[in-house]
């Protein structure tokens, strides 16, 4: 692993309990600027809980969250936003009836003498979208007229309006087609080039291997290894996700390979 920069955000020994369920146990995670950290794990492994603790939706029970080396408390979504952590949730959180500019600036409108400053907002929207090489037909059309991929990139661009340092993407490619997925992955790479720390949650090993620098695996609410993507195979990551080299995925592959060779 080539940990060049110091982590901007570090979680140490984080635990979270919901009633009888121990969702996270002693989880460590380090997120560095200019790097894409993929967070993978099976359903119920605790990925969503972990990003929600970072985003301030759930307060942690024990452990520490440190921001640039200093311990911080993240109890509310506003705390995370104030630190510079932006989260793009799976279900996008855009208003279909509003245009792109209105969505980008929703909740942080630019005003001029108490009145919405449409001109400045439109100008900054164009600059932001241009800087990310995002192409949409017009910034003045409602979100409803955009395709799924365009909506996803608008949602990601929206997270960047507040100039965050850490961007968390919750399954950004889950519902997208091949070309749209490529668009979103391109965007993730541009975020990294701009020096942002990106946390990418994904079920797609192909996507993870395509853009991530390192992969943190969660299994049953615990760390199950951090891998450097360049030196790790997809099989190793799958093994870490499922907890063993002997699992349903590898058995299936062996079976198929075996039958191929017999024929």
Partner 1 sequence: MSKDLAPDPRLLVRERGLAGYVEDFRRRLRGGELGSLPVIIGMIVIAIVFEAQTGSFLTPRNLTNISVYIAGPGIMAVGIVLVLLLGEIDLSVGSMAGLSAALWAVLSVSNGVNDLVAIVLAIGAGAVVGSVHGFFFAKVGVPAFVVTLAGFLGWSGVQIWVMGDEGTINIPRDSFVRDLNSFYFSDIAAAYVLAAVVTGGYVFALWRQERRRQAAGLPTRPTSEIALRGALVAAAAFITAYTLNQHRGLPLALVIFLVVLLLADFMVRRTTYGRQIFAVGGNAEAARRAGINVDRVRLTVFVIGGALAALGGLFYAAQAGGASKSLGSGNLLMNVIAAAVIGGTSLFGGRGWIWSALLGTLVIQSITTGLNLMGMSSEIQYMITGAVLLLAVVLDSVSRQTQRSAGRT
Q: Which is nearer to partner 1, 146 or 200 (CB)?
A: 146
Closest separation in Å from C-beta 143 to partner 1: 9
Q: 246: which strand partners?
A: none
Q: Which is nearer to partner 1, 3 or 144 (CB)?
A: 144
Tokens in use for 212? 């991530």
Q: Which is nearer to partner 1, 64 or 97 (CB)?
A: 97
Q: Which is nearer to partner 1, 71 or 96 (CB)?
A: 96
> Strand (E) positions, 150-221?
166-170, 197-201, 214-219
Q: Using CB under 8 A as the criterion, which residues of the chain lie in contact with partner 1 when the complex forms?
A: 77-78, 81, 89, 91-98, 102, 106-109, 111, 114-116, 118-120, 122-123, 126, 129, 135-138, 140-142, 144-147, 149-150, 179-180, 183
Q: Which is nearer to partner 1, 67 or 89 (CB)?
A: 89
> How is residue 57 annotated by DSSP?
S
Separation of first and last alpha carbons in the chain:
42
Q: Which is nearer to partner 1, 19 or 107 (CB)?
A: 107
Closest separation in Å from C-beta 167 to partner 1: 15
Closest separation in Å from C-beta 84 to partner 1: 15
**Rounded to an integer, what distance in angstroms lies between the CA atom of residue 133 and that of residue 12?**
36
Closest separation in Å from C-beta 55 to partner 1: 10
- Cβ–Cβ under 8 Å, residues 169 and 88: yes
Closest separation in Å from C-beta 137 to partner 1: 4
Closest separation in Å from C-beta 53 to partner 1: 17
Q: Which is nearer to partner 1, 132 or 249 (CB)?
A: 132
């Amino acid at each position: 692993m080539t940990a060049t920069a110091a982590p901007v955000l570090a979680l140490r020994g984080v635990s979270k309990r919901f009633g009888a369920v121990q969702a996270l146990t002693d989880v460590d995670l380090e997120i560095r600027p200019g790097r894409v950290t993929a967070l993978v794990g099976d359903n119920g492994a605790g990925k969503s809980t972990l990003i929600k603790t970072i985003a301030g939706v759930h307060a942690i029970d024990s452990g520490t969250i440190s921001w640039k080396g200093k311990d911080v408390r993240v109890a509310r979504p506003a705390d995370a936003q104030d630190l510079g952590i932006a989260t793009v949730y799976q279900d996008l959180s855009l208003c279909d009836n509003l245009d792109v500019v209105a969505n980008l600036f929703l909740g942080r409108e630019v005003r001029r003498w108490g009145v919405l400053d449409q001109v400045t907002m439109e100008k900054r929207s164009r600059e932001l979208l241009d800087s990310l090489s995002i192409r949409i037909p017009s910034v003045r059309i409602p979100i409803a007229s955009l395709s799924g991929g365009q909506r996803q990139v608008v949602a990601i661009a929206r997270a960047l309006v507040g100039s965050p340092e850490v961007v968390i993407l919750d399954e950004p490619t889950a519902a997208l087609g091949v070309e749209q997925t490529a668009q979103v992955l391109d965007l993730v790479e541009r975020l990294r080039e701009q020096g942002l720390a990106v946390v990418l949650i994904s079920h797609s090993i192909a996507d993870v291997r395509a853009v991530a620098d390192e992969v943190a695996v969660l299994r049953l609410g615990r760390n199950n290894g951090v891998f450097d993507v360049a030196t790790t195979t997809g099989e190793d990551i799958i093994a870490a996700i499922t907890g063993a080299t002997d699992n349903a995925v590898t058995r299936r592959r062996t079976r198929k390979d075996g039958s191929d060779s017999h024929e």
